[in-house]
Structure 1
Amino acid sequence: MTKRNRIFIGILLIYAAGIAFILYRVVAEIDPRYRESAEESLVETSHLLAGLVEQDVQAGAIDTTRLEPLFKSLYARQFLSQIYSVTKTRVEMRAYVTDRSGRVLFDSLGKSAGADYSQWKDVSYTLRGDYGARTTRDVETDPLSSVMYVGAPIRWNNEIIGVATVGKPVASFGQFVSAARQKTLFVGLVSVLAVLLLAVIVSVWLVRPFGVIADYVRYVRAQRSLNLPRLGRRALGAIGAAYDEMRDALAGRNYVADYVQTLTHEVKSPLSAIRGAAELLQEAGMPQAERQRFLANIMRETGRIQEMVDRMMELTALETRRALDHPLPVAMKPLLEELAGAVQDAAAARSIRIIVDAPEDAAVEGDAFLLRRAVSNLLDNAVDFSPDGGTVVLSLQLKARTVRIQVQDSGPGIPEYAHDKVFEKFYSLARPHSRKKSTGLGLAFVREIASLHDGRIELANAPEGGALATLSLPRAAS
């Protein structure tokens, strides 16, 4: 290994170590920050509870009669709250009230009524006018059973006569801490890998020419005599090799090679079918019905290859575009109605109903031809995968900044194993009614069109059955 490479690897390792240290510090700070946030909300809640108790104080005596039915009703409430990635279904807050001696007058869990809590910090500190809080385990040997408590003074005639304490199990917000740690580590690791990859690419592009020059200088020094023709040939060869490498990189030689390899693999099957049918047709005495069947097979497979090549050319042309040339506002409701009418004949042949649900119209800034092709692909797929007598629903939904076009069929839906592959080039599922596959380029074509329009395409199983394709596009400025 050369000294230059050792220095380069050393710099990368120092960078990785620095990022690892920063990630460690950031992850270590997540839990304290969440605890501080939770404690801040407990302070407000405890003062709310103290204010509620103060309303029932009579002659300096604390009355907690109405707290018991209040908390019973609170714990009995049924709800479903989706807080980002966490689902909450029950109230986990707990509370208790003590008098001026620290004796528990009320406990929302019904376990500690009459107990002496005068030694707990949330009670003792609050009774003497300071801020009182503590974190205590419900089960001494289980760190996950920790509960945060914050106390607030109950006053009567400016005198502290008791404490209202509110508690929150640490485990209730621990799931948020865990999710935040995972996301932070994921983002950090992806950033490190991206920067390392960028550093390698930059090094290859910038450092390698200097290395070529150094190698060439060493070659010149090693020559015993100056031979200008040989030196010129060597220089031209180095320049030619560098030019070829640059041209291949710019032209995307590897990209083209991958395309050719994939297309060759996909064409093998129909070519084998054509060759087999052609060989059988050469046999003498073949019945006319058999001859027609093999000729039809040749025509079908030839059409399949032609369709695959045409789609490949369209997709390749689309992938080379970086932006739309002349985007214009395109009204989506008339476009959807036009496409539904165009596919109606093919659907009617199998008694499939096409329903258009577009209560409002909205415009998308884009290319009408490409948008028509994208929705047409989704409609064709929906009809192909719907059973005879089924229904295809084409709907238009308006959001604040986006237009959502949804195509739902009544077919079997997407198998579990195919969820991550449906947008791959040449990947196709057999149609239920014909057991035949398509070119596998339609959804890749739709994804490229969506990307050109700064939108996205999603394909999933609908809750009521069938597949649901959602094309989301930005709304045009009105």
Structure 2
Amino acid sequence: MSKRTRIFIGILLAYALGVGWLMYRQLEDIDPRYRESAEESLVETAQLVATLVERQSVDGTLQAEALGPVFQALYARRFEADIFGFRKTRVELRAAVTDRDGRVVFDSLGRETGKDHSQWRDVRLALQGEYGARSTPDIAGDHRTTVMYVAAPIRVNDRIIGVVSVGKPVQSFGQFVEAARRKTVLVGVTSAAAVLLLAVIVSLWLVRPFGVIADYVRYVRSQRSFSLPRLGRRALGAIGAAYDEMRDALAGHSYVADYVQTLTHEVKSPLSAIRGAAELLQEPMPDADRARFAGNIAREALRIQELVDRMMELTALESRRGLDTVAPVALGPMLRDLAAAARHAGAPRGVTVDLDVPPEEDVPSVEGDAFLLQRAVANLLSNAVDFSPNGGTVTLAVKRARHTVAITVRDRGPGVPQYAEGKVFEKFYSLARPGTQKKSTGLGLPFVKEIAELHQGRVTLTNAPDGGAVATLALPSFA
């Protein structure tokens, strides 16, 4: 994965994590807000009931009997209330009255009458003239049965003679909490998707307003016959190209800076060698030494020239949105010509090149740019010959899989070291050749990778089980 892709994905991840964190905080904040609203309502209800009891207890004796018929009639009432889509048909409010010792003298549900509630937080604080509230489950350990209670003191002649505690099951407003959470998640996901879509649209508008459509229309016009799967693959390829350009637009500065830094590092070594040789040539020396240093200058200058040329080729390839021309490519003749050229290159070291290609009528075909595919396979063959031992064998083969055509190049060299397995397709990364211990420009395999991606294919380099390395160029099969 290139640094451009990592930077772009990092931006998306940072945005997603930020939205996720905000949504998490918002979801966590919903339940406390509903509880605060319910508690505020319970405070007023408790004060109301306490006032009613005070009017019945004017002589200082706690009188709560009048609440019994009221709550019986209240619980018997049936009604229908549509509250933001939720149907409510009965009253769930409960109330209890305790005397000055905290013993229950009235319970609207009839469960706690006669019990000691003096240690409950709401009752204890209210008996002291302070604000008291608590949340207690009806069934121990089951938070779904939690009930919120708020207490208010009953005062007669400035003396507290008891406490009214009113409660409401949390489950009664829990449905509103769940609905609010669902709506928050829906709004958050929709907003995040809308922002990402807007980013894609703006990036495409800035980078290539009509490039995707133009490329796709050009491709459709060039087809000899209509093939829905083929057009679908092409459409996905166009979308992928648009994604790459959006990524490059967002991370372009870092990408260029990284490119310049790496190129500067690669050029520094040959420039130092040229400078050193030039300084030595200014001193008197034998003709043989002078010729050797002049050769060093020429060799290092050629190395810089090769590096610049390959860099320009790769940069031009990366800037392409797609293939300019797409046509059937006859793999048989192309692979035979490349094998012959590779045999000539390997002859001085005794390296042979075997060709494993089916008969002409059975050779699978692909569609693409014949010149680029030829360059890609030539690069793989050149690497295989360089890493083969003296007298070794390189095998070039082609075979058809289910939906792909695989071109493989295998050598019998040392293979890919474990530390280099994830780096061989990085720009400027190169391994020393076994025979000369020299390194290449490190741009050959990245060049092959770009060609493969332009053809909606992929390239891999792995170690063979019995030694050597296997490079595979997999391309979509259109036959």
TM-score (norm 1): 0.50
Question: 1 or 2 for the larger relative contact order (CA 8 Å, sep ≥6)?
Answer: 2
TM-score (norm 2): 0.50
